[in-house]
Structure 1
Amino acid sequence: MVTIKDIAKLANVSHTTVSRALNNSVLIKEDTRKKILDLAAQLNYTPNYSAKSLVLKKSYTIGLFFTSISTGTSPSFFAETVKGVNSVIGEEFNLFVRGIDDYKDYASITKLRFDGIILMSQSEVDNTFVYHVLQQKIPLVVLNRQVEEQKAINILSNDREGSFQAVEHLIQNGHTKVAIIKGMKGFKSTAERKEGYMEALIRHQLPVERHYIECGSYDMPSGYAAMERLLAQADPPTAVFCSNDDMAIGAMNAVFAHGLKVPDDISIVGFDDIGFSQYTTPSLTTVKRPIEKISVQGAKKLLGLMEGSTETGERIFVNTELMIRNSVSKQKK
């Protein structure tokens, strides 16, 4: 049976270099990596992960954790996160996906079980999980929510700025009665997007009306129900900012169910730019939050930490982008 040492001998490099090349390490030059991979293919080398795991004390498992999978995480958000991480990690790793709320305690989250962890953090309740992982000395990257822990690598989008741009776009189209359908209670993204909404109103000297602030839970039914409540008001809004696209799609359907049109009667803007957004009728104006891109960056950072990088305390902001489509019209005077 061909071993790493056999390949190292033929390539005239150390077995550590071979191991890193086979694991797609960023520390290996491309020509060296290609030479080693070609040799491995010619010799029909097959890695024995069970043996490697015992020798190197590695589990070959990467944990991808969400605050919750069952509550407040839309299917598109989940899919883009998994897709981004999965596109980076090698086939030698198992990807373990779980919601933090599935755990009564974190006793099973140990360095023996996980080589590294990516946390798609949606709420401050995750802080105890973050501290536990760092205490266990498991390489950790936190996505989506700004954390105060200085040791953590943190990658997130600027949700407040994105929300500000979305609401300002409605105001620039002549809308003064602008409502918001908020997201899941307790989620940091909910607070950030509401802050952006309020900041845009205040900047343009418009009042913040409490009856124009409705609650949702990041899914289509809650967007539908919240829009129905807004339409039932004596003085309904002419435009609605929804804190994610799923709720925006639900809101659009509520408008249609009442015999009204988007954007002729009510303009709607979403947030996230999920795949369905450009195929709704009308196509949805929304804020592009590059979840897949954030997840890709997070996975790359984690692999670097797992390979021995001492990089800590880095915070990276990924810009949002307003995608102007057909769900907003100029308000008739």
Structure 2
Amino acid sequence: MNDSVAVKMETKQRIRAIADELGYVPNLNAKGLANQHSYLIGVFFSNLEIGTSSSFLAEVIDEINKNIPSEYSVSINSINKDTAQVLQKFDGVLIVSQSNSDDHFIDQMVQRKLPLVVLNREIERSDVSNLAADEYIGAKNITEYAIRLGHTRFGFIKGLSGFASTDQRQNGFYDALDEHQLNIDPDFVKEGNYLPKSGYAAMRAILAGSTRPTCVFCANDDMTIGAIRACSDLGYRVPEDISIFGYDDMRYSKYLIPALTTVHKPTGLIAERGIKLLTQMLASDEEIAPIKEVIDPTPIVRNSVQDLR
């Protein structure tokens, strides 16, 4: 049943046929005791309570479940909780990092010599496999697209303070404005927390003044849902009265009304490559050299930004 090379193929086939007939299922707990494996992978997010949108969480978990070997199970955890006592039970760890504050936790994993892959945020150390997206270039490119359509008066609903993606998307947005000699009214800049409710509140605050922007950048698609609803509640049409673009290209984005112009962050691809790399590390008797990869996001043009030219 363990595919031993000491057993002839004919014998293996006979035994497996009998096992199938009897409905035999290998006991992974017993197998784990024998070879000192738990067959459990820990997946850790920066913060499951604040800042990690349900859409992002679902997409990452879905890709992991689609690509994990059948003998393994997954445990979903939050880095901000006390996890030191449970780390011994994992064969390997995926860290979906959003903040520099995760660095201490990453250090702990390295010290424990656990197979480890860090996803989502580019980290400085070179001894850990790391897959991420270039958040800066994604935000800069989509902002430049809106500028090319004639927009000069922008609003901005930024993400949760302390997250690397918040800083990178903000920098890309502001650099695009600077390169075109555009300024932004401070009253048009509000902070959200990547969740729809915060996008709703921020957009209502932006529209409460005597003037309004022609186009608003929401730093993720979940906040965009709330922002579009706020526009509707206040009698503004998107994009006829105010244009909106988001970031992430979540699976629902093309089904919104209007279909959302956004940035496709390759979250699924990053999660898929991450779990495949980790399981490759777990299956290998030799140490695999760390892999570093930063993937460019792609602007997705739909119907939520009006052409003012």
| Equivalence map 1:242-281=2 (5 Å) | 242-281=218-257
Q: Deviations over 1:187-232 (max 9, x none)?
A: 1111110011011101212124433321001011100111111112
Residues 199 and 9 of structure 1, relative CA distance in 2, 3 Å threshold = same
Matched, 1:133 2:112: no
Residues 7, 40 of structure 1: 8 Å contact kept: no
Aligned match of 1:99: 78
**8 Å CA contact retained: 1:143, 1:295:** yes
Q: In the alignment, does 2:17 pair up with 1:42?
A: yes
Which whole-Å CA distance do the structure 1 matches of 2:138 and 2:303 have between them?
18
In the TM superposition, 1:55-134 aligns within 5 A as: 55-103=34-82, 106-110=84-88, 113-134=89-110
- Correspondence 1:294 to 2:270: yes
Tell me the TM-score normalised to structure 2 length: 0.93
2:199 matched to 1:220?
no
Q: SS at the partner of 2:245?
A: strand
Task: Name which of structure 1's ranges 43-52 and 289-298 shifts more when overlaid on structure 2.
Answer: 43-52
Taking a change above 3 Å as real, the CA distance of residues 48 and 238 of structure 1, as seen in their structure-2 partners, is: same
Q: Match for 2:292: what amino acid?
A: R
SS of equivalent to 1:282? coil
Distance 2:14 2:181 in 1: 68
Q: Which of 183, 188, 200 is residue 159 of structure 2 equivalent to?
A: 183
Rounded to whole Å, the distance in 1 between the matches of 2:8 and 2:171 is 61
Inter-CA distance 115–243: structure 2 relative to 1 (3 Å threshold): same
Number of equivalenced pairs? 304
Q: Is the 8 A contact 1:202 1:208 kept in 2?
A: no
Q: CA deviation at 1:233?
A: 2.3
Are the aligned partners of 2:157 and 2:190 in contact in 1 as well (CA < 8 Å)? Answer: yes
CA contact (8 A) 2:214 2:242 kept: yes
- Name the TM-score, length of structure 1 as normaliser: 0.86
Name the CA distance, whole Å, in 1 between partners of 2:184 and 2:3: 69
1:18 corresponds in structure 2 to none
Paired position in structure 2 for 1:166? 142
Residue 210 of structure 1 is matched in structure 2 by 186
Residues 163 and 197, structure 1, Cα contact 8 Å, conserved in 2:
yes
* Matched AA of 2:125: E
How far apart are the structure 2 equivalents of 1:217 and 1:39? Answer: 58
Quick check: 1:66–1:99 contact (8 Å CA) kept in 2?
yes
Does the Cα contact within 8 Å between 1:141 and 1:302 map onto a contact in 2? Answer: yes
Moved more, 193-202 or 308-317: 308-317
Q: Percentage identity across aligned positions? A: 37
Letter in 2 for 1:154: N
TM-superposition CA deviations, 1:273-310 (whole Å, max 9, x none)? 11221111111111111211110000011011112352
Which residue is equivalent to 1:11? Answer: 9
Question: Is the partner of 2:176 in helix, strand or coil?
Answer: helix
Task: Provide the secondary structure at the position in 2 that maps to 1:322.
Answer: strand
Find the aligned partners of 2:201 and 2:46 in 1 and give their Cα distance: 25
Give the Cα separation in 1 of the matches to 2:208 and 2:283: 57
Q: Give the AA of the match of 2:17.
A: Q
The structural deviation recorded for 1:129 is 0.7
In structure 2, the CA distance between the partners of 1:153 and 1:274, relative to structure 1 (3 Å rule), is same
Query: RMSD of the alignment, in Å?
Result: 2.0
SS in structure 2 at match of 1:86: helix
Residues 177, 88 of structure 1: CA spacing in aligned structure 2 closer, same or farther, 3 A cutoff? same
- Indicate yes or no: 2:120 matched with 1:144: yes
The counterpart of 2:175, out of the listed 199, 203, 206, is 199
